Structure 1
Amino acid sequence: MKKAAGLFRSLMRTSIKSARQGVAVNKLMTAMLTPTVKPAPPRRKVRAKPAASLAKPVRSTARPAPAPSSITTAPGKWLTSHVEGANGHRMSFWLYLPHNIPDEASTPGLPLIVMLHGCQQTATQFAQGTRMNQWAERKGYAVLYPQQLVSNQAQRCWKWYDRATQEGGGDVPTIVAMIDKVAGAYAIDRARVYVAGISAGAGMANIVALNHPHLFAAVGLHSGPAFGAGHSTMGALGVMQHGAGLRADLAVQEVLARHGRFPGMPTILIAGEGDSVVRPINLAQLARQGLVLNGLAPDAPAKITHKAQGSNARHNAHRIDDFYDGRKLLLRVARIDALDHAWSGGDPALKFNAKSGPDATRMMLEFFARHRRV
């Protein structure tokens, strides 16, 4: 508990200056991330069209963005732009457009994944750590990376614990505006928009999806906190360590009441059994929330798959629980042994990424491919 409290204070120091109790600052989240050059993964041969052919005749303010060399191994376009937030501040975002588009992805447009980084990460670091651009190139996805402002939160944490944000305020409208801007400038398939994140970014991804359920076809949450509780920085620490308590069920009922006829939200949850920052109770509560949001019974049976540890520990042992409505997979819960607070199968050159798999990016893309919003 002392270690996690020190970590959280280092992330939230601007909001809890009065809580100086001599707890040592945990340096886990303060090291600078150094990009390294990685070879591009082997690429499948597909019948392809240039991404430029999908551009709409709409004037875009996006411009080419410099990127770490490991990001530029993906051959598509790497662009940056911004939107004006409700507070008048400009929030930047980065956009990856794949170079080669499989024929089946070219009409009516590209699927889009919105990726929300964690605390002490930038958009480009998150792109590099997850290797999402390389996977998006293979599968024909566009990827949008919003970046939290240091003027909003000094450690770039999304304020998932804030009550107003949970109810659809805060940075939620700004992120939605980014999606609208990208979809207005490029041919994006609005039936295949997905949102994902890690840690605070997972908490924020969940909030954006639950407040705009008709916008997103599915959501992916890695190492995320339970939804609907916290409501202060110290309250957020309690959620990270002990879950949302009674709020776990109440918050979901509030979401359903606000929307009247909630359309469901297919969800993939991924977390490490060794995570001491956002403890596994959050995964259990997110799973329970996911069952309710997708109209499944709390005691719905799961199809359980156990995966053994891979050779040379390249893959951690893990368990996957799949929940179906008929033949449709609505909720996937992956519990990964020996994984701490890090993206599974990420680029180990960057912190908050674990070298050993399973590859969380691949798992999310495979889950997203099953879903479209109708």
Structure 2
Amino acid sequence: MPQPVPARRLRRLATAALAVLLALLGAPAAPARAASGTWFYGTYANLAGTRDYHGYVPSTYRPGTPMPLLVALHGCTENDVGFDLLTGLSARAEQRGFLVVFPDQSTLANPAQCWNWPLSINQHRGWGEPSIIAGITDLVRSRWTVDPDRVYVTGVSAGGVMSMIMAVTYPDRYAAAASVAGCEYECDVLRLRSPDQAGLDAWREMGSRARPVPVLVFQGTADLVVAPATADRIVGQWAQTDDLALDGLDDGDVTATPTLVERGQVPGGRTYTHSVHRGPDGTVLIEEYLIDGAGHVYPGGCGCSLYGDPSGPDASGLSWDFFLAHPRR
């Protein structure tokens, strides 16, 4: 017999549904229409702990036809529904045809609802919070027809750090990853260790599953929480990791020096520098958006959220474009 939906869940899902409806009605890039897909929610538990989640299946989903999946990780003082409202990712899922799931950090695990990325247990495959997030990912894959080569992970702040950890610890699960105001693998806030060393550690963590993972990085130049130079540390770490993952050699196949740098501006909004790093075959492996004057915010995010910056480049749209260009190879 179906279990009743707890009142707290109903309120949270109603909030998320309203956010999708408003986003769709106000989105200039798509016809205005109400969301007609399927919301889902649940609780996942393993030996590492228990976490809630909610997600969205777009109306274009058809059983048996593989569809991409995005795993979205919120930041500190947020929850899964708040991150959905901030990013508009459920609305994007309806518009562009992908599933999305939002794991929710427990206040019992962290009173500020930060993902506990500084703990060593949460930096390795099969342990701690990475095992929970991977478990939620696999649960969604088991219930819907998901394309195994188009599963992606993104996050902001603490969620951005965790998205980088997930890309390192589960490169066989996630085809590509994005980080907004995040940090490199084994984040060294004191900058005592070089990005190259972090890249080597990440490659070693990948083990036999090592592969070049495409990564997209967003960072504001006026961020008072995450030092803007951290973006370059993420790029440096992944340049080293991807270089080693290509052939096991530290031979400069991928470098922290961009192959393309261009300036851009959001119409009526912020300016930014966009950098691209390619592999030896010309494939784009790393992209970075350094956004002038942006603080600790989600670029292009809803102004209804404390962490939204509508004047910034559209991180949700740019991320999905990046993901679509990078199925797992």
TM-score, normalization by structure 1: 0.74
1:355 lines up with 2:303 in the alignment:
no
- Check whether the contact 2:40–2:54 (CA below 8 A) recurs between aligned residues: yes
Amino acid at match of 1:286: I
**Residues 145-164 of structure 1: matches in 2 within 5 Å?**
145-164=102-121
1:80 lines up with 2:41 in the alignment:
yes
The structure 2 residue matched to 1:265, chosen from 200, 213, 225, is 213
Give 1:142 deviation, angstroms.
0.3
Q: Distance in 1 between matches of 2:257 and 2:63?
A: 37
Which stretch of structure 1 is more off in the superposition, 190-199 or 253-262? Answer: 253-262
Closer/same/farther in 2, CA of residues 174 and 201 from structure 1, 3 Å limit: same
Closer/same/farther in 2, CA of residues 224 and 137 from structure 1, 3 Å limit: same
Aligned CA RMSD, in angstroms, stands at 2.2
1:322 lines up with 2:262 in the alignment:
no
- Check whether the contact 1:85–1:91 (CA below 8 A) recurs between aligned residues: no
Closer/same/farther in 2, CA of residues 96 and 225 from structure 1, 3 Å limit: same
Greater Rg, structure 1 or structure 2? 1
Amino acid at match of 1:193: V
2:293 aligned residue: 338
- Residues 68-127 of structure 1, C-alpha deviation per residue, up to 9 Å, x if partnerless? xxxx9533212101111324x4311111101125xxx98741100000000010101100
1:368 lines up with 2:323 in the alignment:
yes
| 3-state SS of paired residue (1:171) | helix
**Residues 36-185 of structure 1: matches in 2 within 5 Å?**
38-40=22-24, 41-42=27-28, 44=30, 73-87=34-48, 89-101=49-61, 108-168=65-125, 169-185=127-143
**Residues 278-293 of structure 1: matches in 2 within 5 Å?**
278-293=226-241
Amino acid at match of 2:134: V
The structure 2 residue matched to 1:245, chosen from 183, 187, 192, is 192
Gaps of 5+ in 2: 1-17, 244-252
Amino acid at match of 2:131: P
Give 1:174 deviation, angstroms.
0.8
1:235 aligned residue: none
Give 1:210 deviation, angstroms.
0.3
Q: Distance in 1 between matches of 2:225 and 2:117?
A: 15
1:219 aligned residue: 177
Q: Distance in 1 between matches of 2:217 and 2:103?
A: 21
Amino acid at match of 1:282: T
- Check whether the contact 1:74–1:133 (CA below 8 A) recurs between aligned residues: no
1:186 lines up with 2:144 in the alignment:
yes
Which stretch of structure 1 is more off in the superposition, 258-267 or 354-363? Answer: 258-267
1:23 aligned residue: none
Q: Distance in 1 between matches of 2:309 and 2:77?
A: 16
Closer/same/farther in 2, CA of residues 126 and 246 from structure 1, 3 Å limit: same
1:206 lines up with 2:185 in the alignment:
no
State the number of aligned residues. Answer: 296
| 3-state SS of paired residue (1:214) | coil
Give 1:249 deviation, angstroms.
2.6
- Check whether the contact 2:235–2:256 (CA below 8 A) recurs between aligned residues: no
- Check whether the contact 2:255–2:277 (CA below 8 A) recurs between aligned residues: no
Gaps of 5+ in 1: 1-34, 46-71, 231-238
- Check whether the contact 1:228–1:252 (CA below 8 A) recurs between aligned residues: no
- Check whether the contact 2:65–2:145 (CA below 8 A) recurs between aligned residues: yes
The structure 1 residue matched to 2:222, chosen from 274, 288, 292, is 274
Give 1:137 deviation, angstroms.
1.2
Q: Distance in 2 between matches of 1:283 and 1:297?
A: 17
2:7 aligned residue: none
| 3-state SS of paired residue (2:100) | strand
TM-score, normalization by structure 2: 0.84
2:202 aligned residue: 255
Amino acid at match of 2:79: T
Give 1:252 deviation, angstroms.
2.0
Q: Distance in 2 between matches of 1:117 and 1:328?
A: 29
Identity within the alignment, %: 24
